[in-house]
Amino acid sequence: MGTDSSEPTGGDGNTLQGIDDPTLPDRLEKALLGQPILEVERDGIHYTLLGTAHISQASIDAVEALVASGRFDAVAVELDEQRLRALTDVESLHKLDLFAIIREGKVGLVAANLALAAYQRRLAEKLGVQPGAELKAAAEGADAAGVPVVLIDREVGLTLRRAWTALGFWGRMKLAMGLAGSLFTNDDVDEAEIEKLKQGDMLERSFGEFAAMDPALYEAVIAERDEYMALRLREHGAAAGPTRVLAVVGAGHLKGLAERLAHDKAEPATARGVLEQVVRKRSIPWITILVALAVVGGLAWGFSQGREVGASMALGWVLTTGTLGALGCLAAGGHPLAILAAFVASPFTPFHRLVPSGMISAGVQAWLRKPTYRDFLYLRDDTNTLRGWWRNRVSHVLVVFFLTSLGTSIGVWISIFRIAGRMAGG
């Protein structure tokens, strides 16, 4: 593949290079008025990049008009297979395997996806436009026109995992709070504010101002995806040959994507592989080791002072961690047997990181109160409200997981301070 490239070009939003002839249908001219569009020529391929707001009727109109114009050989969209399936397949959520999610440690990822979806849906309710409707319109319009649909975005789970890995402890807490805030805030928004999304990105907006302020999160959520989408477009171009491609992306990616597409020289498949890796830091889990040593050392000291002292400290450990883990499960509205499972598992959690108490209680909850068809059908609607997370049996399992884990963690630290205090007092 050659490296001939040109600067991205764009106008004032009222014309479009290559399709601005005077015979354009009125609908196309009207739909493109004021829309952010950039053009890139590279390796014999003409890319038309349309920036959209993910909840905007104006963006939907522009997409539909451009796709229907018949001037493009392929339509690329800022989606991955999972998100496309969620937009076009109403049955996709019914296929969730809760036990696999719990077993594979994907509870946090699923909860984050639901939180983001809830935020988007809440905004959409103000306008009567579904989140991602313009991307769905692009994919369906391309199918109707008989042209290929190219999915160019990185899988959102990879993006979140790379962001999580890159952040430190406090950064992760801020990220979690940003996701929680996107779930539970209910501020009024109007269409003018939604149009401001053309200056940003939905993922970034979902995390509030944090994404813009934290370099690691911004890199994973915005900059890396600019690069990734440019690489995917170049891969398609290398396979398809000289073509005209329409790329529909969030307007927050427009400038970065155009510059990457015009100037990047890296081999696409290799560079994309790097961006799909989640490199886990090979660090020693000092906190886990120190917690285990503190508990074991404290209990050993207790038994060295006499059987009664050691037994009292061990009983205190079991009752404190078990009770608070069980209380967390109780606060989540867990089944009585899930609460019992939390009590039994919590004292062992610090010594076996692969089997946290939340996983045990959530597994029992999912087994005893199996989600119904209705729970999967209304999952997106229910997770729009705090009460809905408890009412829906699918999301309820996630709540049981998190609150049990939180209760256990609190119990562990209380117990450690008690042990330390007992030792200090002799």
pLDDT in tens, 324-339: 999 999 999 999 999 9
Lowest mean pLDDT among 33-47, 155-169, 297-311, 322-336: 155-169
100 vs 328, higher pLDDT: 328
Q: What is the pLDDT of residues 9-25, one digit of tens each?
A: 544 433 344 444 444 56
pLDDT at 73 over 80: yes
pTM comes to 0.66
Average of per-residue pLDDT across 40-46: 91
Q: What is the pLDDT of residues 241-272, one digit of tens each?
A: 778 999 999 888 888 999 999 999 999 999 99
Q: Which of 353, 395, 364, 378 is nearest to 99 (CA)?
A: 364
121 vs 243, higher pLDDT: 243
Q: What is the pLDDT of residues 383-414, one digit of tens each?
A: 777 788 898 888 898 889 889 989 999 999 99
Task: Report the DSSP beta bridge partners of residue 41.
Answer: 46
Q: Is 57 helix (H, G, I), strand (E, B) or coil?
A: helix
pLDDT at 165 over 70: yes
Burial of 159 (0-12, 13-18, 19+ CB in 10 A): buried
pLDDT at 128 over 90: no
pLDDT at residue number 328: 94
Q: Which of 69, 28, 74 is nearest to 247 (CA)?
A: 74
Domain spans, the chain: 9-275, 286-424
Residues 219/164, Cβ–Cβ less than 8 Å: no
Average of per-residue pLDDT across 160-164: 78
Q: Could you tell me the pLDDT band of residue 160, with boundaries at 50, 70 and 90?
A: confident
Average of per-residue pLDDT across 214-237: 85
Tokens 């109007």 map to which residue?
Answer: 190
In this structure, which long-range contacts are made by residues 38-41, counting pairs with CB atoms below 8 Å and at least 24 apart in sequence?
A: 38/8, 38/9, 38/10, 38/254, 38/255, 38/258, 39/8, 39/9, 39/10, 40/5, 40/6, 40/8, 40/9, 40/258, 40/261, 40/262, 41/5, 41/6
Question: Backbone phi, then psi, for 77, in 5-degree steps?
Answer: -130, 150
348 vs 288, higher pLDDT: 348
The pLDDT > 90 percentage for the chain reads 29
Q: What is the pLDDT of residues 266-309, one digit of tens each?
A: 999 999 999 988 776 555 666 777 778 888 888 889 888 888 88
Q: Which of 204, 220, 95, 120 is nearest to 162 (CA)?
A: 220
Lowest mean pLDDT among 86-100, 130-144, 197-211: 197-211
Question: Backbone phi, then psi, for 151, in 5-degree steps?
Answer: -90, 115
Q: How many Cα atoms occupy the beta-carbon half-sphere of 229 within 13 Å? A: 31
